[in-house]
Amino acid sequence: MGRKPAIITVKRGLALSKSYVVFAIFFASLAILLANFGNAYLGEVPKNSGIGTSLALFSVALIAIAATMLTTSVILLYVYDKNNGVLEYFLSLGMNQGDIYKRYLKAAVILVLLLMAGVAVANVTVGLVLTGGVTILLVVTGIAAALALSVVSFDTMAMMTFSSLQKQRAGANQPLGLALGGLLVVPAYLTPWILPGIVAVAVDLAEATIIAALSIALFLLSSRLISREKLLP
């Protein structure tokens, strides 16, 4: 599978629903604001850096939610394509479950990378303008990228693998599995406030690693977890 099919999937997903893009921009903007506010607080009150660090780390969860929102369009597209026989067409071309999943998973990853690139540029630019220091912002952006990629990958694979996480209501595809993304991010909301900074960073990275491992396992087992017939409308 080349890059072109994934890019086409990105464009089709964004064309299918733009409201999720708006939500993603809102959460990402809020995350950038909090991260830089925390960074500024660290510079102004170095003796009491706990609040600043907590605010900066709290932005990690918001960025992960923004990534989930942004990639919702790809998951909606998968359900839409399934209901309209597009996946059946892919099967007729000789693709297997893994080939089909890879097309949509790549599209989701591309969207997350684009989001993280924008967040990184915004954080560094605002940080340099306001305080001249970007160390905590770079740490936060790196953790957020790891968590966002792992959560989105797991969410996307779970949605595509288990049909029970898909539901059609009132003519619109309602991907119930998206709730998984929100649940997976919950620890990242709590760790900045209940754990010391370095411990919170370690816990967030450990969470991202575990979720990434689960995503890889789901992908490797995808052909066994669901039969080809269940990809048909």
**Shortest CA distance to 205 belongs to which of 165, 128, 150?**
150
3-state SS string for 144-160 = HHHHHHHHHHHHHHHHH
pLDDT, tens digit, for every residue of 33-92?
999 988 887 765 555 567 878 888 999 999 999 999 899 888 888 888 888 888 888 888
Asked whether the beta carbons of 30 and 62 are under 8 A apart, the reply is yes
Euclidean distance between CA atoms 112 and 129, whole angstroms = 26
Which carries the bigger pLDDT value, residue 78 or residue 147? 147
Q: What pLDDT score does 47 carry?
A: 52
Residues 83-110 as b/e (b if ≥16 CB within 10 A, e otherwise) read eeebbeebbeeebebebbbbbbbbbbbb
**Shortest CA distance to 57 belongs to which of 137, 2, 135?**
137
Q: Is the pTM of this model over 0.75?
A: yes
pLDDT, tens digit, for every residue of 151-195?
999 888 887 776 655 555 433 444 555 667 778 888 888 988 888
Q: What pLDDT score does 2 carry?
A: 42
Name the one residue in this structure whose structure tokens are 């999937």. 9
Q: What pLDDT score does 28 carry?
A: 95
CA atoms within 13 A on the CB side of 213: 6
Asked whether the beta carbons of 186 and 193 are under 8 A apart, the reply is no
Q: What pLDDT score does 230 carry?
A: 61
Euclidean distance between CA atoms 99 and 111, whole angstroms = 19
**Shortest CA distance to 86 belongs to which of 76, 73, 77, 96?**
77
Per-residue pLDDT averaged across 223-230, rounded? 64
